[in-house]
Structure 1
Amino acid sequence: MDLRLAAAADAAPLAELGARSFVAKFGHLYRPEDLASFLQGSHSTDKVAGEIADPRLRIMLAEEDGRLLGFCKLVMECGWPDHARGATVIELKQLYTDPEATGRGIGAGLMDWAMAEATSFGADEVQLSVYSDNPGAQKFYARYGFGKVADIHFMVGDQRDEEFLFAKVI
């Protein structure tokens, strides 16, 4: 597996993988119109192209033989300032793997990069949002020292999901 920063040409495959991964894991939870609205707002090629160009974001790709297997987005600013404990808090926005490639250490490789990048940036806390009914992801983040700090919510179209804010002080 190779890791590299996303470039402008990666917008379409990154958007496709993000949408496909979200639908595979959570698509059954939503009305079609809510899901379509969310995907357009969060996983469109235009949205991802804007993220790649944004200097406040770092997007790392995991590839194998030129095939995109996963990605991780870091926002180099605080997502939930009301719950911040550090002075320089950043947000791990998404850590997605191809549904057909889970269990191969892709998430671990991306998380190792994210934590090293956070340290290099000078962050003293990393925050992330995780679905309240996703114990596998919660367990994964707990292995890296993240713990629940607040109950929050996440909108998918008009549907409000209960989420947990996890954080780790570095």
Structure 2
Amino acid sequence: MTTVPPITLRPAGMSDAAILAAISFEVWMHTYIRRGVSAAYAGYALDTFTAANLAAMLADPAEHVILSENEEGPDGFIRLTRNRPAPVPGCSDLEISTLYVQPRHHGRGLGRALLASGLDRARSLGAPSVWLTTNAENAPAIAFYLRQGFERIGTTHFHIGDAAYPNGVFRLTLDR
């Protein structure tokens, strides 16, 4: 019988910026690149997921990032962003802006552990609910959020270049 190592969670620090950039790039490309890398997608990923951008995000007091890590280093993270108006009515201003787990670590409970930790943080911030968006074609993520108690409450669009991609908007009301 294989023993699953315990999940270790910790707040991200400035020294984690490059790690967050690498995880973000890997997960985003794995999730959204289906048939080949277009110039628009390549440009977006290379411009967005940089250590400098992630360091700036970590320096922002409205951002809260929790990492999961194994014996070799971080393998996922959740990012909550305060004061972020939702694209649909009926939401608080606290967004789960990112929940990424490296694909090779799926199925170990990291997503659930990170989400639980993020929801604890949201409660400590006094948020009555959290919201998030996910690509309308990302069936595994949608199923995950629905299993965790989120409800789909609307649609918005994610823009890359001149293209707009439908995203579902999901909300979870927090118990106190």
Pairing partner for 2:99 from 79, 83, 95: 95
1:119 maps onto 2:119 in alignment:
no
1:36 maps onto 2:49 in alignment:
no
Pairing partner for 2:132 from 124, 128, 132: 128
Q: Which runs of 5+ in 1 are unaligned?
A: none
Pairing partner for 2:27 from 15, 21, 24: 21
Pairing partner for 2:109 from 91, 105, 118: 105
Pairing partner for 1:142 from 138, 141, 146: 146
Pairing partner for 2:59 from 47, 53, 63: 53
Percent identity, please.
27
12-21 or 26-35, which deviates more: 26-35
- State how many pairs are aligned: 168
TM-score (norm 2): 0.88
Aligned to 1:85: 90
Say which SS state the counterpart of residue 10 (structure 2) adopts. strand
Structure 1 residue 155: Cα displacement? 1.5
Say which SS state the counterpart of residue 89 (structure 1) adopts. coil
TM-score (norm 1): 0.91
157-166 or 126-135, which deviates more: 157-166
Task: Indicate the structure with greater helix content.
Answer: 1
| Alpha-carbon contact 1:37-1:157 (below 8 Å) kept | no
Structure 1 residue 22: Cα displacement? 0.8
- Using the alignment, how far apart are the partners of 2:35 and 2:121 within structure 1? 33
Say which SS state the counterpart of residue 79 (structure 1) adopts. coil
The runs of at least 4 aligned residues of structure 1 exceeding 3 Å deviation read none
In our comparison, the structure showing a higher alpha carbon Rg is 2
1:163 maps onto 2:164 in alignment:
no
Aligned to 2:3: none
- Using the alignment, how far apart are the partners of 2:107 and 2:14 within structure 1? 28
Structure 1 residue 90: Cα displacement? 0.3
Task: Indicate how the Cα distance of structure 1 residues 56 and 30 shifts in structure 2: closer, same or farther if over 3 A, else same.
Answer: farther
Structure 1 residue 30: Cα displacement? 6.7
Say which SS state the counterpart of residue 33 (structure 2) adopts. helix
Say which SS state the counterpart of residue 168 (structure 1) adopts. strand
Q: Which runs of 5+ in 2 are unaligned?
A: 1-6
